[in-house]
Amino acid sequence: MKIIRDAQVLKSPEHYWNLLVRGDKIGLEGIYCQYAPELFAFGMSLVPDYDFVQDCIQEVFLDIWKYHRNLHGVSNIKIYLFKSTSHKIFKEIKRAKKTDWAELNEENLSLVSIEPVESELVKLQAKEYLQVRVANVLEKLPKRQKQVLNHLFFDHFTYEEVAKIMGINLRSTYTLAWKAITTVKKHLSGDR
């Protein structure tokens, strides 16, 4: 029984994080294996560019390794990684000046996959045709409202975690979510 418990501890993110902070590359590898797929999906929701997102995630992990001795105060590994990835992506976009920031927000983010949010609403309403109507409404939402819905329904973050990731206060997170949901409900009920 003790062996099984020890094996489970070895698989926990906290265990790998502690190894990483002490300078053990196994910790870095463990954290990467556990979170890279989620970080990639998150990055693609911000910028639909496979190579760019992969590069940014790699750079985040290189920075984590470079500064591993300063990471002992991280309380939530997942939020730290998501926030670091978000910062890296936006920093690289600005630095490279590949795209005007306003264009990125309005044009490229319209390509974000919103199927998980759609699916959630479709299940709640139990109507197949609702999916197309919901997609049309979500496409019209402002970027920040769409981002909050993606974090809440797709990434399954709490409101507090979304606030930290987006760098806004908790009240703003609730307000953005409320406005987005109200807009969606208003448009859907108006179609009847």
Instruction: List, for residues 152-161, the tens digit of each pLDDT value.
Output: 877 888 999 9
* CA distance linking residue 38 with residue 86, whole number of Å: 12
* CA distance linking residue 19 with residue 17, whole number of Å: 5
The pLDDT value given to residue 89: 85
Structural tokens at position 53: 């997102």
Instruction: List, for residues 66-104, the tens digit of each pLDDT value.
Output: 988 888 778 888 888 988 888 888 888 887 764 454 455
Number of other residues whose CB lies within 10 A of the CB of residue 128: 8
* CA distance linking residue 26 with residue 161, whole number of Å: 27
Give the residue from 169, 173, 111, 167 showing the smallest Cα distance to 148: 173
Domains of the chain: 2-98 (1.10.1740), 106-190 (1.10.10.10)
The pLDDT value given to residue 63: 92
Question: Of 87-96, 127-136, 170-179, which gets the smallest average pLDDT?
Answer: 127-136
* CA distance linking residue 172 with residue 163, whole number of Å: 8
Cβ–Cβ under 8 Å, residues 114 and 150: yes
Q: pTM for the whole thing?
A: 0.54
